[in-house]
Amino acid sequence: MRQPSDEQAGVTTRRGRNKERARKRVYASALTLFRRQGYAQTSVAQIAEHADIARGSFFNYFPRKDALICAWMKERTTALTRRLGSCLRCGMPVAESLGTCMSVLGALNEEDLDLSMAMLTGWVQAGRPLGREPHLDAVFAEIVECGRARGEIHATLDPGQVGELLRDLYIGVLCRWAGRPPSARHSLGADLQEALDLLLHGIATPGGPHRGRRRGFV
């Protein structure tokens, strides 16, 4: 099989770099417009115009408008894992690690509130709550697996299933928090921590409705 020449390889690499730069420009333009005017109010044509490309060229970088939401959520998860650091290296008790995770998620949303609200609205409008976004699930599952390895979590529990449960808890609290009037919103991190504490410690009294069934997961 004929190997590409150094010159051909260089052209291919350069094209790849140019395409990635253009993709980042389209993505940055989309976020700027979402932050300014909302997800639903921003069209593909407006994004393309802001990025200085033809409308049809948008689809060379993103197959659909809602693919921008997936890219943003993946980027958000990367920021989360970077901030968590040692929590994901099994360096903290599981309850403390999960609490830190919820605090970081709260801070990430509140630091760029306009964009977070726009993307949450777009995510709901795109029907994403009915699908599965595995990135955040995996972060929670890794923390739970570390806790299970240390005996802090019931050995019979599936970390993946618990990760999905924690992700659902996060999304539910976030949606309720976002739906309140701005004057009625307190700390998202505090709301998330309160919900997490309820999940970790349960709602049943000793001898209550959980009798004869598995109690909690910590």
Helix-, strand-, coil-residue percentages of the chain, each rounded to 5 = 70, 0, 30
Task: Given CATH 1.10.357.10, say whether it is the number of domain 67-201.
Answer: yes
* pLDDT single digits (tens) 93-147: 888 889 999 999 999 999 999 999 999 888 888 776 545 556 788 889 988 998 8
Question: What is the reported pLDDT for 216?
Answer: 52
Those residues with Cβ within 8 angstroms of residue 29's Cβ, 6 or more apart along the chain or in another chain? 47, 50, 51
Question: What is the reported pLDDT for 208?
Answer: 54
Those residues with Cβ within 8 angstroms of residue 177's Cβ, 6 or more apart along the chain or in another chain? 185, 188, 191
Tell me the fold of 7-60.
Arc Repressor Mutant, subunit A (1.10.10)
Which stretches of the chain drop beneath a pLDDT of 70?
A: 1-12, 86-90, 128-134, 204-218
Which residues of the chain are in CATH 1.10.10 domains? 7-60
Question: What is the reported pLDDT for 211?
Answer: 46
Q: Average per-residue pLDDT in the chain?
A: 84
Query: What is the chain's Cα-based Rg?
Result: 21
Count of residues in the chain: 218
Which residues of the chain are in CATH 1.10.357.10 domains? 67-201
Question: What is the reported pLDDT for 190?
Answer: 94
